[in-house]
Structure 1
Amino acid sequence: MECAAKGSGRTRCTGAATRPCARCGAVAYCSLSHQIEHWSSHKHECDRLEQQMESVHLLNDFPFTFSQEATVQICLKQETRCSFLSKRGIHQKGMWMIECRCGESSASFDCLRLNNSWDLPRNLYPCYAPESQIPVQLHSWSDYYNWRCIPLDSPAALLLHWPLTIYHAAQLVGIGTLNPEVCDKLYLHYLGPEKELLQLDVFGELQALFPGVHIHIELVGPAIPPQRDGEKISISRYASSNEDQSTCKSASENAILSTQSGITSAVTLQLWHGLYHDRYRDIVKDSSPHLVIAPNGGIAAYPSWLPSIELIEKLDVPAVFTDYCEEACHLAASCIENVISRSFRLPVQVNPFRQPIAVEDSVLLLPCYSNCFVFGISAASSMVVTR
């Protein structure tokens, strides 16, 4: 962890940040002098961070058998992401390639969908359609795992947090329940994809989460390779393992693939290189969005978000954002509120479908998880469900 005063002090850092703030415990310093120098800035956030630290037990609360290992032990550096994945035989394999630092350094977004397998035993992931209709609403990982008949020792949630966060965002803004215009088609604008570009096949689970609905997702961001700009990808099957594809195919033939009306779900993706406000006119030639979603947006950290937020404001559609910790969401919400003129009716709240493994070496001592917190703005004409 870096010293909270790094770059702002009059002297260089003297070493590791081993002096936590005695009040909030969320930031640390390399020396007493840096801590004293930084107080003029930190005092404005200290109380807020102290309140956020009180939610640590809630953020670490998952139903999985590996929860302690993936949360507390990683935060305390008793475990690493690499060791967690290695124990399960999935280190640098398939869609897991990007889930650790050594994988991040060797992965290339030029190779989208080349490593698209689970590399898990078939009973540990959803490679076929559900055996029963989706409940009225899923509220937790326990609900989802029980519905999809996956044991709680399965690490599949580490990848499934992408489609489940989309599902949760749609539920929060009333899509599928309170928006009658969304019947058999759902158009999403998905901003700033990065890691998920090497895990695209996991979005096939949206077929189960939105039965009978054709889902079209426009993925827009600088991380998309320029040579893949405009490319369309159709996901007609659930992601499977290289070893078990025939078994999964057989199982899917006997499972429930469609709604009572007989309409089969489908997922299509289209890739767009660049920033949302620059590419919007190209994108909407095919579809206008029902929902804009920006996972792990880092809105407060990147000034390039400002014109995109201004565009979303003009579109008058619901927009949902996520980030790694509550503080990042608080700062992002402040940025957004300075731009929008309509209601900010989806307050910052914990995402029940956040990725259940802690981020290593985060800037704050707050536990950080991918898609950890969710917040958003509503369309003037839509009703937002808050919790």
Structure 2
Amino acid sequence: MECAGNGRGTRCIGPARRRCGRCGAVAYCSASHQISHWNDHKEECERLEQQMKRVDALNDLPFTFSEEATVQVCEKQETRCSFLRKRGIHFVGMWTCECSCGLSVASFEHARSKDDGWDLASTLCPCSEPSSPIKSLCSWKDYYEWRSIPLHSPIALLLHWPLTIYYATQVTGLRSFSSIISNKLIIHYLGPEKELLQLAVFGELRALFPGVQVHIELIGPAIPQHRDGEKINLCSYAHCTDADCICKSSSDNFDRSLGTVRSSAVTLQLHKGFYHDLL
């Protein structure tokens, strides 16, 4: 977590380990940064406090992780590094941040390659259009069956980002009101960090919201300054490793531009800063 007072005149003196004593949702590197940020934070502290009281409810969300895919890790039978290494994806591509050693050296400063993919065979990942229309998805088992992927596939470790977006629309009832969504859905996504190295997985929203133009505003302090305002056009799904797979026929999987992007099922835009500062 980055210091909420970063950029307010003085440089941070270290890691942000000093949390707000009331809400616990923001952290600071020092008492001086906490004091300087209070005028901004006090307006949202009470709201964040109430939200943090319900943070344990996140563990009950159906798309937090896949128990079937990570049972050895969950039961402490093996480490996350070992789990990834056995599947040939340890410290590889989008999987880099999925273990503590990768997260410790990963940098959000570097743009991802347009060819970033799953680093898995086509039978283990959703790299192309689904073979059947989407149905109501209430669990990872539902999703894996719909996408014809075996439950031992590790893709849930990355796909919980787009699947949680899907689930949120189910909970709010938006998917029941086509007149509300129409053909465009705009989402404000706050505080992305390691997601910045896994943006290609958001291409799965093409399958989850067929016929809908999904636009996501990713807002957070972890976004590098040189990527502030960047637009990303996800024209297809993240690729598999099979050389002859149909997913290779799409050459524009991960296009970036700082100007106007052409129409696409899923577009992302990055904004550096805090949500309340951008309002």
* Fold-level similarity (TM above 0.5): yes
Shift of 1:251: 8.4
Alignment partners' CA distance in 2, 1:133 and 1:251: 22
Tell me the amino acid that sits aligned with residue 177 of structure 1: S
- Aligned: 1:138 with 2:137: yes
Which residue number in structure 2 is paired with residue 167 of structure 1?
Answer: 166
Give the 3-state SS of the residue equivalent to 1:149 in structure 2. coil
Tell me the amino acid that sits aligned with residue 117 of structure 1: G
Q: Is the contact between residue 240 and residue 248 of structure 1 (CA under 8 Å) also seen in structure 2?
A: no
Unaligned 5+ runs, structure 2: 1-17, 19-52, 251-262
Shift of 1:244: 2.7
- Aligned: 1:249 with 2:247: yes
Which residue number in structure 2 is paired with residue 72 of structure 1?
Answer: 75
Tell me the amino acid that sits aligned with residue 92 of structure 2: K
- Aligned: 1:193 with 2:192: yes
- Aligned: 1:153 with 2:152: yes
Give the 3-state SS of the residue equivalent to 2:109 in structure 1. helix
Give the 3-state SS of the residue equivalent to 1:120 in structure 2. coil
Q: Is the contact between residue 170 and residue 176 of structure 1 (CA under 8 Å) also seen in structure 2?
A: yes
Structure 2 counterparts to residues 40-119 of structure 1, below 5 A: 62=66, 64=68, 66-73=69-76, 78-114=77-113, 116-119=116-119
Q: Is the contact between residue 60 and residue 67 of structure 1 (CA under 8 Å) also seen in structure 2?
A: no
Q: Is the contact between residue 207 and residue 265 of structure 1 (CA under 8 Å) also seen in structure 2?
A: no
Alignment partners' CA distance in 1, 2:181 and 2:102: 39
More helix by share: 2
Choose 109-118 or 219-228, whichever is displaced more: 109-118
Give the 3-state SS of the residue equivalent to 1:145 in structure 2. helix
Q: Is the contact between residue 128 and residue 251 of structure 1 (CA under 8 Å) also seen in structure 2?
A: no
* Structure with the greater alpha carbon radius of gyration: 1
Structure 2 counterparts to residues 1-387 of structure 1, below 5 A: 62=66, 64=68, 66-73=69-76, 78-114=77-113, 116-135=116-135, 137-178=136-177, 180-241=179-240, 243-244=241-242, 246-249=244-247, 266-280=265-279
Give the 3-state SS of the residue equivalent to 1:111 in structure 2. coil
Higher relative CO (Cα under 8 Å, sequence separation at least 6) belongs to 1
Tell me the amino acid that sits aligned with residue 126 of structure 1: P
Q: 1:150-204 CA distances to partner (integer Å, 9 max, x unpaired)?
A: 0111001111111000000111111121362211100001000011110000000
TM-score by length of 2: 0.69
Q: Is the contact between residue 122 and residue 248 of structure 1 (CA under 8 Å) also seen in structure 2?
A: no
Q: Is the contact between residue 203 and residue 235 of structure 2 (CA under 8 Å) also seen in structure 1?
A: yes
Q: Is the contact between residue 210 and residue 265 of structure 1 (CA under 8 Å) also seen in structure 2?
A: no
Change (3 A) 1:62 1:128: closer
Shift of 1:219: 0.3
Shift of 1:121: 1.3
Give the 3-state SS of the residue equivalent to 2:219 in structure 1. strand
Q: 1:256-291 CA distances to partner (integer Å, 9 max, x unpaired)?
A: xxxxxxxx97100000000001113xxxxxxxxxxx
Alignment partners' CA distance in 1, 2:64 and 2:162: 21
Q: Is the contact between residue 217 and residue 270 of structure 1 (CA under 8 Å) also seen in structure 2?
A: yes
Change (3 A) 1:60 1:144: closer
Tell me the amino acid that sits aligned with residue 134 of structure 1: I
Alignment partners' CA distance in 2, 1:61 and 1:224: 25
Q: Is the contact between residue 217 and residue 268 of structure 1 (CA under 8 Å) also seen in structure 2?
A: yes
User: Runs of 4 or more off by more than 4 Å in structure 1?
Assistant: 58-63
Alignment partners' CA distance in 2, 1:279 and 1:249: 37
TM-score by length of 1: 0.50
How many residues end up aligned between the 2 structures? Answer: 210
Unaligned 5+ runs, structure 1: 1-6, 8-47, 253-263, 281-387
Tell me the amino acid that sits aligned with residue 246 of structure 2: C
Percent identity at matched positions? 55
Q: Is the contact between residue 63 and residue 142 of structure 1 (CA under 8 Å) also seen in structure 2?
A: no
Aligned CA RMSD, in angstroms, stands at: 2.8
